[in-house]
Amino acid sequence: MKILIAGFQHETNTFAPTKASFQSFIQGEGFPPLARGVDVLNLRDVNVPIGGFIKVAQAQGHELIPVIWAGASASAHVNVDAFERIAGEIIDAVKAGGFDAVYLDLHGAMVAEHTDDGEGELLERVRAVVGDSMPLVVSLDLHANMTDRMLRHADAMVAYRTYPHVDMAETGARAAYLLDRLIAEKRKFTRVVRRIPFLIPVNAMCTLIAPAHDMYTALASLERDTIVSLSFAPGFPAADFPECGPVIWGYGFDSDALTKAIDTLYARMLAEESSWEVPFLTPDEAVIEAMRISRNADKPVIIADTQDNPGVGGDSNTMGMVRALLRHGATDAAVGVIWDADAAGAAHRAGVGARVELALAGRSGVPGDEPLKGTFEVEHLSDGRFRFDGPMLNGMTGELGPVACLRIDGVRVAVSSIKMQIFDRNLYRVAGIEPEQMKILVNKSSVHFRADFQEIAETILVAKAPGPMAADPADLPWQRLDPHIRVRPKGPSFDEIRSAVA
């Protein structure tokens, strides 16, 4: 077959301070930078879904028509210009024709300025051109907020099963096999969908530990024979629209067997609802505990500064955890990566060994956060270019712009000019910090960092310092949720909260 392929990935936190522009997608911000045409095929060996799809489809002898691949770090809404330019390129290629099937590498939680459902909008436009009979398959992020519109316009959608996302390419490969099965059978799949009635904190979704690990093990055990594909997306609990939330869905050729499998997984989620709750520490509690543990530890204690994770819409520039480290006299501590291009530029102008007066970061606008004013020693400078050696995006090159290591008392701060979640140890090393040699690491991340850091961690703590991404979804100022969904596991429904406020 001739298969048109394209990718458009964004995870939208509608409560975040910064929107995604077209420039965000050009840079990639932790994703591969925007690629067009045959350059998309260069992603073949990168751990992104389209890479896995390309490998399998080429091995099957299909001809690929690559259009565009664009991804950007989580943030507030994708602006109209960015959405229409990227979606427009995809639709123009679809209108040009000359292919037998379509594969799209999407996220599933994109909200644009002019539409709540970015993926549903794109899929509807594609379907309007190709008609109902052309196969259209999609790979999705584990954090997708599945909508009825998305499900209606795609023949099959399959989501990651790991968080940290180490199976992105594998998921693209599963999409290729789904397309192959769809063509071989010459008939549509039966689809069954169940919506989970409670929001799940992002930190609870880590598949390295229970309950998420056990849920995906159960899901995989049910996927066989006529049950062709099962997916569970815990959702992205920071998109304020009615279809935000977890969804289980699947495809097959035996409606009764598929329904039974989906209902089994649904019942498991309801029975284990309380296990999806997450204990959080305050910044002071986290630092005090980290200092206590690190006294007799051979490995660093890692604190996840989860509410300023740029992977979920934070700007990676809040100072709450840095202040807590300084307040308690922590030593051999490092924080990464703080996004402050002005501070990095000042350090480069001053040079290694200089002492500079700065008001570092702290410009999130979140109550309780403000710039950290002080004298910092410039310990290391670099151009910010590095390679990902961890499990996520392994082998890809990264670009942080000018980078500096700034030291204040016993705390080293890795400062970058481009925003990026710290899910690879080399983001510390590019700032001259050897993470294994630190007693305490504060990572601007929620879960992805575990892919490369878990093996070097004495223990991992999760802190709720002031930041734009509420770790507990019940803390968000929701306005448009489904009235019946519970805002946290075992918590009140959105309707009950509104009634209480009224």
- Mean pLDDT, residues 396-418: 96
**Contact predicate 11/236, CB 8 Å:** yes
pLDDT at 65 (0 to 100): 98
- Helix orientation angle between 49-59 and 168-185, rounded to the nearest 10 degrees: 40
396 pLDDT band, cuts 50/70/90, is confident
**How does DSSP classify residue 366?**
-
461 pLDDT more than 90: yes
> Which helix (H) or strand (E) is 128 found in, with range?
helix 118-130
Q: Which domains does the chain have, with CATH numbers?
A: 2-276 (3.40.50.2300), 283-471 (no CATH)
Which residue, among 8, 479, 1, has the nearest Cα to 238 in the 3D structure? 479
Q: Which two tokens stand for residue 255?
A: 């409606």
493 pLDDT band, cuts 50/70/90, is very high
pLDDT at 395 (0 to 100): 85
Q: Angle at CA 385, nearest 5°, toward 381 and 69? A: 150
- Mean pLDDT, residues 144-163: 98
Distance CA 162, CA 158 (A): 13
In percent, the amount of the chain with pLDDT more than 90 equals 95
- Mean pLDDT, residues 465-476: 92
pLDDT at 248 (0 to 100): 98
440 pLDDT band, cuts 50/70/90, is very high
pLDDT at 478 (0 to 100): 97
135 pLDDT band, cuts 50/70/90, is very high
What does the mean pLDDT of the chain come to? 96
58 phi and psi angles, rounded to 5 deg: -65, -40
pLDDT in tens, 75-117: 999 999 999 999 999 999 999 999 999 999 999 999 999 999 9
Q: HEC states along 206-243?
A: CCCCCCHHHHHHHHHHHCCCCEEEEEEECCCCCCCCCC
pLDDT at 159 (0 to 100): 98
CA dihedral 464, 17, 6, 387 (to 10 degrees): -60
279 pLDDT more than 90: no
pLDDT at 372 (0 to 100): 98
pLDDT at 17 (0 to 100): 86
pLDDT in tens, 231-254: 999 999 999 999 999 999 999 999
Pairing label, strands 333-339, 355-360: unpaired
- Mean pLDDT, residues 410-437: 97
502 pLDDT more than 80: no
Which residue, among 116, 201, 207, 192, has the nearest Cα to 161 in the 3D structure? 207
Task: Output the pTM of the full model.
Answer: 0.92
pLDDT in tens, 304-327: 999 999 988 899 999 999 999 999
